[in-house]
């Protein structure tokens, strides 16, 4: 059996790397990527969608692979000018990246939906894969810490993720788009990227109607925890403080609970997961070839489990 329609749920950095592999392994019409927008915020008066841009730049082969965000070929002359004026420089917007934010902000002001804007931006960069924001409405991921409540970028970047996280919640009453709901309903399988479950995937699943629709499908995830470490970001501490769990793929499996039909983990990490089918393979993606190899392995797992559940 071949998978006719695949839905991929993604956050930024790790999710974007697998997105690149999936986009090479599958024809564009078979793949829909639904991306977290809980990280979105307004900065310098511009509408920034970090995860959408990270995935889009990765698919366009323009992303900075080592840093994980922004463009590979970039300069920061605008940032230094802002610094001279005493403006905010904690969030590093590059000169070329700014072009994306300027166009998105203008089109949003003109009334175009984030879904249509994303499609226009992708078209401009020659990205053929279908990339959908989880919602056209603002939904902000909020972080309760001992130092008060911070929006996601203020906690992660401005406060350097130093304050311990007590609770995560999603501000606003955002609804998923019809395109998101239809894509999930039509999917043969849902793949959850190696993204942070709390702040990248949960915001998508928390939108009204999404969790139920995803749950009705075979769902396979890639663990963002490799040999006790997160590939990037503050996931290890979140697992410890929010779930009182050690950083293992088992904790990822426990977080998603009975949503998952299978989990892909780093080779050597298989033993920690006893509750569902596990595939151990190379999950750390340093190159585009690693991303493609992992994408093919994930798809093979999905196909094998669908044939023989
Ligand atoms: N992350 C940082 O840690 N520091 C930055 O200055 C920064 C700038 C930035 C600019 C554009 C963009 O699309 C992403 C950017 N990121 C930056 C990454 C981003 O804030 C987070 O990694 C994601 O939101 C987490 O998924």
CATH number of the domain that residue 145 is part of = 3.40.50.10680
Query: Does residue 1 form part of some domain?
Result: no
Shortest-distance Cα residue to atom 10 of ligand 1 = 93
The reported pLDDT for the residue numbered 39 is 97
Query: Does residue 199 form part of some domain?
Result: yes
Residue in 35, 49, 82, 91 to alter for ligand 1 test, most ligand atoms within 8 A of Cβ: 91
The per-residue pLDDT string of the chain (309 residues; one tens digit each, 9 = 90 and over) reads 578 899 999 998 889 999 999 999 999 999 999 999 999 999 999 999 999 999 999 999 999 988 889 999 999 999 999 999 999 999 999 999 999 999 999 999 999 999 999 999 999 999 999 999 999 999 999 999 998 999 999 999 999 999 999 999 999 999 999 999 999 999 999 999 999 999 999 999 999 999 999 999 999 999 999 999 998 889 999 999 999 999 999 999 999 999 999 999 999 999 989 989 999 999 999 999 999 999 999 999 999 988 754
The reported pLDDT for the residue numbered 114 is 98
Q: Which residues touch 220 (CB under 8 Å, ≥6 apart)?
A: 189, 190, 191, 192, 260, 261, 262, 263, 264, 298, 301, 302, 305
Query: Does residue 193 form part of some domain?
Result: yes
268: left (phi over 0), alpha (psi -120 to 50) or beta: left
Residue 272 CA to ligand 1 center (angstroms) comes to 31
Contact 256, 221 (CB under 8 A): yes
Tally of structural domains, the chain: 1
To 5 degrees, how large is the angle CA 121–CA 127–CA 133? 55
Query: Does residue 232 form part of some domain?
Result: yes
Query: Does residue 89 form part of some domain?
Result: yes
Which residue is listed with tokens 């005493």? 86
Shortest-distance Cα residue to atom 13 of ligand 1 = 50
244: left (phi over 0), alpha (psi -120 to 50) or beta: left
To 5 degrees, how large is the angle CA 292–CA 296–CA 300? 170
Q: Which residues touch 261 (CB under 8 Å, ≥6 apart)?
A: 218, 219, 220, 276, 277, 305, 309
Q: Which atom of ligand 1 is nearest to the CA of 199?
A: 26
Query: Does residue 23 form part of some domain?
Result: yes
What is the domain extent for residue 184?
6-306
Residue 75 CA to ligand 1 center (angstroms) comes to 15
Residue in 13, 69, 162, 198 to alter for ligand 1 test, most ligand atoms within 8 A of Cβ: 69
Rounded-to-integer distance, Cα 10 and Cα 166, Å: 24
The CB density around residue 161, as the number of other CB atoms within 10 Å, is 16
Q: Which atom of ligand 1 is nearest to the CA of 196?
A: 26
Shortest-distance Cα residue to atom 3 of ligand 1 = 157
The reported pLDDT for the residue numbered 306 is 83
Query: Does residue 198 form part of some domain?
Result: yes
Around ligand 1, the residues with Cβ closer than 6 Å are 11-13, 39, 50-51, 53-54, 69-70, 91-93, 97, 153, 157, 200
Q: Which atom of ligand 1 is nearest to the CA of 94?
A: 10
Residue 9 CA to ligand 1 center (angstroms) comes to 19
Query: Does residue 143 form part of some domain?
Result: yes
């Amino acid at each position: 059996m071949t998978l006719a329609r695949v839905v991929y749920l993604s956050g930024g950095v790790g999710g974007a790397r697998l997105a690149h592999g999936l986009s090479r392994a599958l024809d564009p019409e078979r793949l829909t990527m639904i991306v977290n927008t809980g990280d979105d915020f307004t900065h310098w008066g511009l509408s920034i969608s970090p995860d959408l841009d990270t995935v889009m730049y990765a698919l366009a082969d323009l992303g900075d692979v080592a840093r994980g965000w922004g463009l590979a070929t970039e300069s920061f002359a605008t940032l230094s000018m802002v610094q001279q004026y005493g403006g905010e420089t904690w969030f590093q917007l590059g000169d070329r990246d700014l072009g994306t934010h300027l166009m998105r902000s203008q089109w949003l002001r003109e009334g175009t939906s984030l879904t249509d804007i994303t499609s226009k931006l992708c078209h401009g960069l020659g990205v053929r894969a279908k990339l959908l924001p989880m919602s056209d409405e603002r939904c902000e991921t909020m972080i309760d810490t001992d130092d008060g409540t911070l929006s996601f970028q203020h906690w992660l970047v401005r406060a350097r993720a130093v304050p311990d996280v007590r609770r995560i919640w999603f501000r606003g009453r955002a609804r998923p788009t019809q395109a998101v709901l239809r894509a999930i309903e039509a999917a043969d399988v849902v793949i959850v990227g190696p993204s942070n479950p709390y702040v990248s995937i949960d915001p998508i699943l928390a939108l009204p109607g999404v969790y139920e629709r995803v749950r009705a499908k075979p769902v396979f995830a890639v663990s963002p925890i490799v040999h006790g470490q997160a590939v990037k970001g503050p996931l290890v501490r979140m697992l410890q403080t929010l779930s009182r769990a050690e950083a293992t793929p088992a904790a990822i499996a426990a977080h998603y609970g009975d949503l998952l039909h299978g989990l892909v983990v780093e080779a050597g990490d298989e033993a920690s997961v006893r509750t569902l089918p596990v595939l151990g393979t190379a999950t750390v993606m340093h190159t585009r070839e690693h991303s493609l190899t992992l994408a093919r392995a994930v798809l093979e797992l999905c196909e094998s489990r669908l044939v023989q559940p």
